[in-house]
A and B are shown apart, each in its own frame.
Chain A
Amino acid sequence: MTSATSLYTRLARLFRLRKDIHPTLFTLSGLFVPLVLLAAWWGATAFGLVKPLFLPSPGDVIAEGWRQLTEGILFTDAKISTYRILIGWLVATVVAVPVGVLMGNFRIIEGALEPLISTIRYMPVVALIPLSILWAGIGDLQKVLILFLGTFFQQALMIMDNVKNIDANLIRAGQTLGFSNQEILRRIILPAAMPGIWDTFRITIGWTWTYLVVAELVAASDGLGRRIMDAQRYLATDTILFGTLLIGLLGLITDYCFKKTGQVLFRWNKAGR
């Protein structure tokens, strides 16, 4: 009776609104859900509840991964795909930062570009594949172009918001201290918006990863996305599943790198108390 109540109160403590829980518990809960899914997956395949064609077992997927690793395919695929992602995302970022910053600071530029960008960002990137081949051929350039199109427009709008969200009094403080508009832009607005912009980087590179398969859908002979599309023809579900999980994992690693770098770069942004 008492143990039941205490269990109940202990459980209830986990569900207080917006209260912190023990950090270990937090991490464990993050492992718990995937492990349950993994167990369910294993169970479903081990007891023959689904056909291997529809859902290969975890063991099959690991074996497929091992095969790709030993044959060297895994490494070359990951390398070329990561390269495309980085270039596509970098080009998008190099253009989106100035565009977003200008849109966030000058109403006239926001007025001129916002309707256009907002329209384009709803256009399906997949539909642009034929055009992209016409324009950029079938080489890496076309893949990078697709990744660029999938990333840039959202990114520019988000950076505009990051810039707009800074405390307007910071700009006013700069003006009272005698700084020119250009100096205020460079030395106050940019650094103030930078943590937000960095978060945008982190989110958008995740989106670039999700566009990988689309980018390698047509006219590619290598890459993680290509491997998945090829596997579809032979119904090699273990290859498909392994490739998908791998892209997820690489995305997660990218995300983690951005998060950690951000914490180092913007140490001032962390409350010390």
Chain B
Amino acid sequence: MTRSSSEPMLVLDGVGKNFLVDKKSIVAIDSIDLTLRKNEFVSVVGTSGCGKSTLLNIVGGLEEATSGEVRINGVPVTGPGRDRGFVFQSYSLFEWMTVEGNIRFALEKSNHTKAEKSELVAHFVKVVGLAGFEKAFPRQLSGGMRQRVAIARALVYKPSILLMDEPFGALDAQTRGMMQELLLQVWEDHKVTVMFVTHDVDEAIFLADRVIVLASRPGRLKRDIQIDLPRPRAFDIVTRPEFAEYKRQILSDIREETLKVMAMEQP
């Protein structure tokens, strides 16, 4: 049972990206077709440098595709917009603002009244478990807490799509596990389509309805696996045999790509 509906919400239509390096054009992503349904949780994995961040940035409108286009509910993406929330690996909080200030800043461009804004901020502070830290500055928080602020900041203005680029990459294993469960909780409660980039295969499977494996150099779609594990999921789901089978499949795909890249790098 998945929570996502069958409507296509986010469509990547032949998306490609070339970078100019030393006057030579390098293909980072080569024509990716991908469709995310409304409220679907999709993880993207692949070897380092295969173009995961580039792909996410294109969907976020932070980088332009060289070819193809991204459509949200049928409308082509031309730049960043408030229908998409972004969570970066490096937290990227506004360090001169308090926890509360960071979250409130995201609401500045919305039409809520002052009271509504305060209510929303208070709600999301609670959702990410930071009650009591409203007045703290980011530098005073641990890595996990900072990333929770970033998640609250990306959710508070109710974007329909949440883009996350290795958001838990810098966290220790325990904190990471807690954050994954928190994210699932928030996703179940707040109905949002998620595109989640990670290089942690366990994390990708645990969270997602679908895992996309990218091929390397240039980035292409290698595999698209439906994860049919029951929800809500708890940490012990990793012990199920289906989980192990998904993991084996994805790891062998990634291994194949890594070997390919290493062979290319031989003189």
Contacts and interface: CB of A to CB of B under 8 A. Distances in A.
Given A176-B62, A176-B85, A169 B140 contact: no
A273 B82 contact: no
A175 B80 contact: yes
B240 interface: no
A271 B139 CA distance: 5
A178 B96 contact: no
A173 B140 contact: no
A176 B86 contact: yes
Contacts of B23: none
Nearest to A170: B92
A178 B139 contact: no
B198 to A, nearest CB: 17
A172 B96 contact: no
Nearest to B165: A169
Interface string B87-103: 01010101111000000
A140 to B, nearest CB: 38
Interface in B32-77: 60-62
Contacts, number: 73
A178 B82 contact: yes
A69 B181 CA distance: 71
B106 interface: yes
A273 B138 CA distance: 11
A188 B86 CA distance: 16
Binding site secondary structure of chain B? loop
A192 B95 CA distance: 8
Interface string A174-193: 01111100000000100110
A169 B88 contact: yes
A176 to B, nearest CB: 4
Contact of A268 (B62, B96, B106, B157): B96
Contacts of B109: 177-179
A236 B84 CA distance: 73
A178 to B, nearest CB: 4
A172 B92 contact: yes
A173, A188, A268: residue with the most chain B Cβ atoms closer than 10 Å: A173
Contact of B86 (A172, A267, A273): A172
Contact of B88 (A173, A177, A268, A269): A173
B187 interface: no
A173 B92 contact: yes
Nearest to A180: B109
B140 A273 contact: yes
B84 A176 contact: yes
Nearest to A268: B137
B157 A272 contact: no
A273 B136 CA distance: 12
B244 to A, nearest CB: 36
B137 A173 contact: no
B94 A191 contact: yes
Contacts of B157: 177
A199 to B, nearest CB: 15
A268 B102 CA distance: 13
Contacts of B138: 268
B129 interface: no
A175 B137 contact: no
Interface string B203-231: 00000000000000000000000000000
Contacts of B97: 268
Contacts of B88: 169, 172-173
B246 interface: no
Contacts of A179: 108-109
B81 interface: yes
B156 to A, nearest CB: 10
Interface of A: 167, 169-170, 172-173, 175-179, 188, 191-192, 194, 266-273
17 contacts: A173-B86, A175-B62, A175-B80, A176-B85, A177-B82, A177-B105, A192-B95, A192-B96, A268-B96, A268-B139, A269-B96, A269-B139, A271-B139, A271-B140, A272-B137, A272-B139, A273-B139
- Going nearest first, the 5 A-B pairs with the smallest beta carbon separation are A272-B140, A169-B92, A178-B109, A175-B80, A268-B137
Given A172-B62, A268-B97, A268-B139, 10 more contacts: A170-B94, A172-B88, A175-B61, A176-B84, A177-B106, A178-B109, A179-B109, A268-B138, A271-B139, A272-B136
